Every structure is written in C-alpha cells, then in structure tokens.
Chains A and B, each alone.
Chain A
Amino acid sequence: MFANWRKKSVEPAVSSDMLSKQRRYNSLVKALHADIFRYAFWLCGDKQVAEDITQETFLRAWRSLDSLQDDKAAKAWLITILRRENARRFERKQFDYADVEQESLEDHIASSTEEQTEQYWLRRQIAKLDIEYREPLLLQLIGGFSGDEIAQLLELNRNTVMTRLFRARNQLKELLEKTEVRGQSNG
C-alpha cells in the first residue's frame, strides 16, 4: 500500500532528474567501459579482478555522478576512481604482486600468425614492465592523456612522468629488437 502511494506521489517529481542521470550513466558506460576495463586489466593482470574493479568503479561513479561537472573529464575521473579502487584491493587483501598472470594471456594465441605471436609476446613484455613504467604508458596509450594530465593523475611531476615514458618505450623497444635479431639468427 505504502509502496503504491509512494510511487504515485514521489516518482513524477524525481523521475526527470533520475532519467537524465540514468541516461548520462548509460552513455558513460557505453563510451568508456572498454578503456576502463583494459586499464584495470593492465593494472592488476587478471581478467576477473579487472571486471570486479570495473564494476566497483562504475558503481562509485554512479553514486557520485552529480559531482562530475564536465563530461570531457569523465575518463580521468573514472581512472582516478579506478586507481583508488585498485589500491583498496591491496588494503583488503594481501595479493602477491605477481603482475599479469601468464594463464590469462595464454588463451589469446589461438592461431599462430606471426602478428599474433608477436602481439602475445608484446603483451607479456608489457605485463613484465615495472608498474611505475607501465602505468604512465597505459595512460598515454589507452587513455590518450598528455604528459601533464598523466602527471596530475599519478600525482607526480611532469619530468618524472616523461622519464618513465621514455624508459618504458626504451625497454620495450630494446626487447623487441633483441628478439628480432634472435629470430633472424634462428630462422
């Protein structure tokens, strides 16, 4: 009885507000869930955990959606929530830091074209990168953020961020060149 009464009297007043908030949330999910999930995956190295973190991130985002003033800033905002959520995961549970699990990557090399093999190899190298080097790279390549924006997100100064980006690419490039040389000599 009370429920019916409430629906009649309260919903019309609130509905338009709720509806626009819901629409905003839906479009946020559609536009950004892939990037957020991928970022989470490369942060924690496990698909299931990445999905959980993504869920938590978006739930938190929903709760404080009103505080998001500028939709252009949505991605950075979500990533900030995500990073906090990821950190909380470590507070709750002492995970061993073994970064990206090998098993979760294994199933991606279904067939064996050269490109796929290389991509698989590259994924393992990215996963092996130290988190300090990996995270700025993720923000640059997945997030599309500038050096300044990355510095702000990670609360580092810009020079540190640029140095880390330099080292990340440098390491990956060297590794890539090494295998190419090895591959040639082997082949």
Chain B
Amino acid sequence: MDELKFRRQAYEDPHNQDPEFVAQMQESAENQAFVAELKRLDTKLINALKVDVPEDLADKLILRQQLQQHHKQRRQTGFLVAMAASIAFIVGISFSLLRLGPVDLAEHALAHVYHEGVALQVDQNVDFTQVNAQLASMNNLGNAKFTEQPGKVYYTSYCDFQGVKSLHLVLQAEKGKVTLFIVPIEKRMVLDNTFADGKYQGMGFEAGDAYILLVGEDKTDLSFVKDEIKNTFI
C-alpha cells in the first residue's frame, strides 16, 4: 500500500481495521501519529455531533404512537358497529322479502298436520255457527261461511300459513278424519290440486274467496269432504 492510499484510507475511516491498513500504520511512528490525530478529530466530531436531545422526546414518541393507536381502535370500533348494523339490516330485509316469496300451500298443509297432531285426537264437537264466527273474524275472506253443518267437526283453531291467518278444522268423513284448512286467497300462494306424502293424501281447490286444503289418509274421504264443502260453504 502506497503512502497516498494509506493517508486516503485514514481520512476515509481512521478506525479502519483492515490488516493491510493496520500494518502500514504500525510501520512508522509518523503514520501512527497521523492516524492518531485523525482519531482525535473523530472524537471531537463525535462529541460535537452529540447535540442535546429534548429530555422528554422518548416519552413523546411513545405517547404520540399510543394516541394514534387509540384513534385507530376507535375508528375500527366504529367500522365494526357500522358493519354489524348493515348486516343486521340486510338480514332483516331479506327475511321480510322471503316472507313475500311464493308460498307452497300443499307442503305447508302437510307440515301443519304433522305438527299439530293433537288436532286429530281431540273431540270438541264444534257447531258450524262457531266456525262461521271464526270465519267472520278473519280478514280477506269476505262473507265466506257455512250454510249448514258440514258433518261432524272435531276441532277448530286459527293457524298461521306463512304469516296469513287461516282456519284449521278437523272433519269426520266416511272412513276417517280429514283436516281442512281455509286460507284467504293471496297472490303469492301456490296451490296444487293434489298432493301427497308417504302417509297423507292432499287436495286443494278454490271456494269463494278462499283456498281450501284437505289432508287425510284416504283419497275417497277427501272427495267426500270436498263435495260436502262445495254444498255447504259459500
């Protein structure tokens, strides 16, 4: 390493630990003094660069960060609440829209018969005037009523067909009992003329301002009740 390069390197970094540089430095007392002087300059410079740091700077830095974090959390909370609100809103809207969707009366009638098993067991021996009173209290059914007793009525009750108030009757037919639903006509309802599952037969028709649904175990029973209704229900 020539003298020039050595001096240059000393200026670049007097604390250079490169073996070649260190060897060159130790070659002469002059070189050592030269580097030592530059090291002294560095010490002075390092001290000069150490300007006073504001005492509370570290605390301020932590405080600022925590304030910001706090704000961020509050923003996030707001966002979450808004999110939850919109989801709740959407769910609410879709439920009410679903209720307006087409209603399959047949399926519902069967489900209702299974659900209210007790209706086929009790014997209330209901008079047709009582049934008429119930019919009169129902909306959208006009003046529908029975003109005479449609055979023996075991059971009568209001029930709910997808939000529509309907009447649930159990009548005696030739062989067994037949369940009869009287549902006010609504556009969104879908009515099948006949339907069935493993156990029950079903039948649907319009009479007056209402849909009539019959559910029973025997098909001839259904026809029997249908004729009965056609004669007595207006």
Contact = CB atoms under 8 A, between A and B. Distances in A.
Interface residues on chain B, size class: 20 to 34
B77 A126 contact: no
B61 A58 contact: yes
A55 B49 contact: no
Interface stretch (B50-58, B108-116, B180-188): B50-58
A141 B43 CA distance: 9
Contacts of A140: 13
Nearest to B66: A22
Interface string A46-58: 0100010011001
Interface of B is mostly: helix
A51 B54 CA distance: 8
A166 interface: yes
B85 to A, nearest CB: 10
A118 interface: yes
Contacts, number: 91
Task: Indicate the member of B13, B53, B64, B68 with the most A CB atoms within 10 Å.
Answer: B53
Interface residues on chain A, size class: 35 or more
Interface in B10-45: 11-13, 38, 41-42, 44-45
Contact of A41 (B8, B42, B51, B80): B51
Contacts of B97: none
Contacts of A142: 46, 49
Nearest to A105: B51
A122 B44 contact: yes
Contacts of B12: 147, 162, 165-166, 169
Interface of A: 2-3, 6, 25-26, 29-30, 33-34, 37-38, 41-42, 47, 51, 54-55, 58-59, 62, 108, 118-119, 122-123, 126, 137-138, 140-142, 147, 162, 165-166, 169-170, 172-173, 176
